[in-house]
Structure 1
């Protein structure tokens, strides 16, 4: 397994290396987390946990510029987006703090007979392992850590090997906010050590954000030990255009939905499904606007696209595009690469049987499909192993409701993009995983809904 290191994806310069921890050090971390469970859940009141999370939110906002620059160094996120991610993480922590008391309150049950009372008490379950990716280092952890620390579940974070600096910055924030010792730790471990953590009896749940392969391997390990798992995996989100009064505005939404995080977002729009009468104009306008996005040094706030996160990521995307073309796709624009910079690319003519038809493209590559009807659009949208998010543009409210109901995805956004918010649940179906983060459902994944029945 690669070592943990910060490697500037724009220049290739290795800025800092971090050693993997030893098995003995991992044992110490598990001991601290185990002790922290009692301190956090029993000795720290909910009011105090809420105050700590509010302080965490404040620190994210105060340090947003510093935190954003870390992401630009580690994985090439354009600086404006990187700072935005830090600020959004602060908003999410505030949301969880605002709603924790209501979410974790006892829930009375109306009895059908007998005397006395009954209620559900929501208790912590224990230490949780978070296996988190490189593409949204703060945001992904925030979705997982926020509700669970409020519940009283300590967190062990296994960050991406290329994002150790942001992981340590998060540890520092939690320490500065007053979180009990051991309640949030980052462990620089290898694959075999992850298996050790999953098997440890103090660890009662695992959340994985990453590839289908990583999710299935860790979920299998967790299943052998009867541990709860939440998976947020890949996506190949459809963006359906059935009618519009303003095609230019729809195109701008579409470009933004594909270009976010330089196309390296699991819930980014990737397959654009356009009704026949709008298709030619959409392809022309989308291709021109996508190709014109300012790209380059991620620390330049004017750039909307940065480099891909690593040479391996750029190699993989380049190979996917070449294979798609070899199998019959047409490149409308782009398809070229300089170092880790990948030109915005549009593919048309991707047919069933082309590998690209069923693959996720993790970078600035868009596929555009022509359809003749609503029925064909829905069928194409659902013809994927993934089911994370989806987008629909139409001027017909009844059609919007009808199509949204039929799309096989965890999320449907109608006539808008960039609508994600702290209060809106996030998650998918099919091979995009299961479980929900954000919103009120975030408190439901790793909690003991304990029945208390009092006879008299």
Structure 2
């Protein structure tokens, strides 16, 4: 079997990748288990030094890696560069903080000494998506490998070129053979991989359907799992907000990566006093975004990663219009490209309100007051993050408990940061990545007791 990656901007073939045979897959899994025995025994400072070198490799080759991201999934080149540099940042972060995160925790008991060790688990299997093909992998790999685990990656087939480049980063940084390995396999091999004795846990970033399937397999084989799935984030604007700042932030929150982000703002919930002003300024700002060749620095909006994804978004727009929503901007599709689109008069029960829309579509919703705004925000099966824009910071903080999501941002778009835990609730998954919590996900917290 062969996998082809196709540039969604121009339809050109980027690369062809031959699938591993069953025997080759077995060899990789066994090698990962063997590598773990040596890797986990390496001093932590050694593993941190290699991680810092990985960050250096990323920075030294930022153009090469950014060009591969843009070619395979269509992200504007300026955003691809930013993604690679963010990966270098997460490497530096864990190289700087791993010692503190992993130190034993002394606990007073009846023992002469009792404490908790933070030991690695073994091989961790990562199933990663195409939308941030470098970042999603590095936010898993940086803490997981540094903790002493080994990792194997099954990436999305349309970004297998990125997957090979990522494996190259660790090789160039000097990681021992078998510590991080890339798998070119079809998803029908997932159960075989999870069932393998070498694999101790699985992490997936992807769709709700994929997460459900992987969680079932992890449960079947009694393996720990971490799921980072979809989102339908709300962006709430109160009447005392700085509207110009809110609009500027909203454009980025919705249109970054052409809207292909689980934590993108998707439902814009506006109070009556600022509704007209926000919609007018937001529509103007979105309409001024520059589309074009994704290799040009000036391009802000590119194509979606595949035509089937574009078709799905377009169908969601048509469905919402049939249900009563109004197109305020855009609405047209051309192959993999979809115009940035704004829908007004969106209400619960409409496709654009209820479903995750993975592309440049903003749903505008009017709430009569703050209480209804939070009520509308909570009408979602997802729970990644909520943004509130207001000048009344204290009141906004008092309202944090009204949001059941995994993140609550005031006067800023919801975003991932190596220093802060990241993850969701509900159908958005479970577990946390990044910060100390991300390193602790794949750790054996071992109790040691001395009488």
What's the TM-score once normalised by structure 2's chain length? 0.98
Task: Give 1:249's aligned residue.
Answer: 245
Aligned to 1:13: 12
Deviation at 1:398, TM superposition (A): 2.7
Matches of residues 234-273 of structure 1 in structure 2 within 5 Å?
234-244=230-240, 246-273=242-269
Deviations 1:69-110 (A, max 9, x none): 101100001000000000000000100110011111111001
User: What's the CA shift for 1:420?
Assistant: 3.6
SS of corresponding position for 1:351: coil
Residue-by-residue CA offset, 1:340-395 (whole Å, 9 max, x unaligned): 11111001122223232210110000001111111101000010000001111111
Cα distance in 2 for residues equivalent to 1:444 and 1:365:
36
Determine if contact 2:386/2:414 at 8 Å carries over to the other structure. no
> What residue is the counterpart of 2:25 in the other structure?
26
Match of 1:414 among 367, 392, 410: 410
Task: Find runs of 4+ consecutive structure 1 residues off by over 3 angstroms.
Answer: none
The equivalent of 1:291 in structure 2 is 287
Aligned to 1:67: 65
Any idea what SS the aligned residue of 2:134 has? helix
1:173-322 matches, within 5 Å, as 173-244=169-240, 246-322=242-318
Structure 2 residue matching 1:162: 3-state secondary structure? helix
State the distance in 2 between where 1:191 and 1:229 align: 17
CA displacement, residues 23-71 of structure 1 (integer Å, 9 cap, x when unaligned)? 11100110110111101102x2111101100000111111111111101
Specify every segment of 5 or more residues in structure 1 that has no aligned partner in the other structure, as ranges: none
> What are the Cα deviations for residues 415-443 of structure 1, in whole angstroms up to 9, with x where unaligned?
12375421011111000001111111111
- Residues of 2 paired with 1:246 and 1:397: CA distance? 12
Q: Contact (CA 8 Å) 2:67, 2:77: kept in 1 or not? A: yes
Is the 8 Å Cα contact of residues 3 and 161 (structure 1) preserved in structure 2? no
Alpha-carbon distance between aligned partners in 2 of 1:331 and 1:103, rounded to the nearest angstrom? 49
Q: Pick which of 409-418 and 259-268 moved more.
A: 409-418
The answer on whether the counterparts of 1:5 and 1:163 sit within 8 Å (CA) in structure 2 is no
CA shift for structure 1 position 15: 2.5
CA contact (8 A) 2:387 2:414 kept: no
Cα distance in structure 1, aligned partners of 2:370 and 2:216: 38
**Conserved? CA contact 1:243–1:395, under 8 Å:** no
Length, aligned pairs only:
451
TM-score of the two chains, using structure 1 as the length reference: 0.97
Contact 1:390 1:411 in 2 (8 A): yes
Alignment correspondent of 1:85: 83
**What secondary structure is seen at the aligned counterpart in 2 of 1:94?**
helix
Q: CA deviation at 1:291?
A: 1.5
Q: Unaligned regions of 5+ residues in structure 2, if any?
A: none
| Alpha-carbon separation, structure 2, partners of 1:296 and 1:131 | 31
Match of residue 158, structure 1, among 154, 160, 163? 154
